[in-house]
């Protein structure tokens, strides 16, 4: 579904990523691990058309997208849940969800999409008339994911969905992400929480200093002494 080949990308004249190549298969759940500053956010923003690509290519569904504008990439079915959620705090939960269905194809199936989101996150139905800004951190993350699902993505990108959340909430959100993946949506999630990613993802790439340092199945990496020492705190 998604192929990134020898990518260099960044901001201004500075490349954050150098010679990055990854493949995300159709219907896969793929994790992207790495410390702060490794380039995880830049990689997701490159896929979404929000960061400058200076070399290499990004191919989605057989089409090169690295020179296309962000709105054209969204129209192809790539939806990005950014770090920090980026909700509209003064709008209600229902209004935030409605804004997610701005593509014509999504508007035609608005009711079906809303029912699905509220089935996955029942709290959003209860909070539908409340302002997004008064929700808890976990509820806001659920709303951000729900808003993305309203666009009916083929590929869902998530940047640090566990950030600032309690472990039980993180487990709940990743359980829903696994359900979304089983329902047919391809997922690429960038995270520092290695433990939850290695539990839920099928394949994992590790970014360090703007390059892919490790890759393999979650089982392979979970059993790697280097990964266990560096990311799981196991001696």
In this predicted model, what pLDDT tens digit does every residue of 43-52 receive, in sequence order?
A: 999 999 999 9
d(CA 6, CA 57): 7
Residue 182: partners with Cβ closer than 8 Å, 6 or more residues away: none
pTM to 2 decimal places: 0.94
Query: What is the pLDDT at residue 104?
Result: 85
Alpha-carbon torsion angle 141, 144, 20, 13, nearest 10:
-110
DSSP 8-class letter at 92: B
26: helix, coil or strand?
Answer: coil
Query: What is the pLDDT at residue 234?
Result: 65
Q: Which residues of the chain have pLDDT under 50?
A: none
Structural contact between residues 39 and 207, judged by C-beta atoms closer than 8 angstroms:
yes
Q: Which two tokens stand for residue 17?
A: 């990523």
Residue 213: partners with Cβ closer than 8 Å, 6 or more residues away: 34, 206, 207
Domains of the chain: 26-50+68-231 (3.40.50.300)
The helix (H) or strand (E) run that includes residue 178 is helix 167-182
């Amino acid at each position: 579904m998604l192929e990134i080949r020898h990518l260099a990308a960044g901001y201004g004249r500075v490349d954050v990523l150098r010679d990055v190549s990854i493949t995300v298969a159709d219907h896969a759940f793929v994790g992207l691990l790495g410390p702060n500053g490794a380039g995880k956010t830049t990689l997701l923003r490159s896929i979404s058309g929000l960061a400058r690509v200076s070399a290499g290519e990004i191919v989605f569904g057989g089409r090169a997208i690295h020179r296309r504008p962000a709105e054209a990439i969204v129209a192809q079915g790539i939806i990005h849940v950014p770090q920090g959620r980026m909700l509209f705090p003064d709008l209600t939960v229902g209004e935030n969800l409605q804004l997610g269905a701005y593509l014509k194809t999504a508007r035609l199936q608005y009711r079906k999409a809303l029912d699905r989101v509220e089935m996955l996150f029942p709290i959003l139905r209860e909070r539908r008339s409340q302002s997004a800004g008064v929700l808890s951190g976990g509820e806001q993350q659920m709303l951000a994911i729900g808003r993305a699902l309203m666009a009916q993505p083929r590929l869902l990108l998530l940047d640090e969905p566990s950030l600032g959340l309690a472990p039980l909430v993180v487990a709940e959100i990743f359980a829903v992400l696994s359900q979304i993946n089983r329902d047919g949506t391809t997922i690429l999630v960038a995270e520092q929480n290695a433990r939850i990613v290695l539990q839920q993802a099928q394949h994992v790439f590790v970014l360090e200093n703007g390059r892919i340092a490790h890759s393999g199945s979650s089982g392979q990496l979970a059993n790697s002494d280097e990964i266990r020492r560096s990311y799981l705190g196991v001696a």
